[in-house]
Amino acid sequence: MDMTTVGDTGLLDTLQHEVAVFARRAEQTRLGGVGQVRNSMDRAAYLLLNRLDKEGPMGVKALAASMGIDSSTVTRQVAPLVDSGLVKRTSHPEDGRAVVLQLSPRGCTRLEEVRSSRRQLMAELTQDWAPEEREDFCTLLTRFNHALSARMTVPGPGPAEQPPTS
């Protein structure tokens, strides 16, 4: 089905444009919060620390799988977090050869500082919104992110087959 024929193409054009503007502005500001914590933690670090906080200690492969990225990316992104003391590497309790990543006490403190700052920013940006509007926006943004995530996990069409040459 050609998605440009679904609904109003003007609305779809506006939607794709606003998503692009949002992505640019979010990256420019990192939606980092307010005060001293503003822009003090990049997106990758925040997402990794948040995942370890919510799901607990895990290996690189499990962390990569839960985030939908490859292990080499996690390894590269975790290295500075270990160096700065926000994440600890420990031996797996059942397999001493395997490494488990865990949020350190310093990482927990730092993550909460960043979360608090970002909550304050969200409150400021939506201060004139009704509580229902905040809930609706959160619901729709979550739904949009899930749809994007699902789309990324479904293999796209392969390259067009070329006719045999004679």
CA-to-CA dists, residue 2 to 11, 13, 17, angstroms: 15, 14, 19
Residue 38 — very low, low, confident or very high, per pLDDT cuts 50/70/90? Answer: low
Query: With contact defined as beta carbons under 8 Å apart, do 104 and 86 qualify?
Result: yes
Q: What is the pLDDT of residues 18-36, one digit of tens each?
A: 999 988 887 776 656 666 6
Strand partners, 120: none
Could you tell me where the DSSP H helices lie in 32-70? 43-55, 60-67
Q: Does domain 28-150 have CATH number 3.40.50.2020?
A: no
Its sign, for the CA torsion 71, 73, 79, 82, is negative
Q: What is the pLDDT of residues 113-161, one digit of tens each?
A: 888 888 888 899 999 999 999 999 999 999 999 998 888 776 555 444 4
Q: Does residue 166 register a pLDDT over 70?
A: no
pLDDT, averaged across the chain: 83
CA-to-CA dists, residue 147 to 9, 28, 102, 144, 150, angstroms: 20, 24, 29, 5, 5
Query: With contact defined as beta carbons under 8 Å apart, do 66 and 54 qualify?
Result: no
Q: What is the pLDDT of residues 85-113, one digit of tens each?
A: 999 998 777 777 778 999 999 999 999 98
Looking from the CA of 16 toward its CB, the CA atoms found within 13 Å total 7
- Say if pTM beats, i.e. exceeds, 0.85: no
Q: Does residue 49 register a pLDDT over 50?
A: yes
For position 160, what pLDDT does the model report? 46
For position 48, what pLDDT does the model report? 94
Domain extent listing, the chain: 28-150
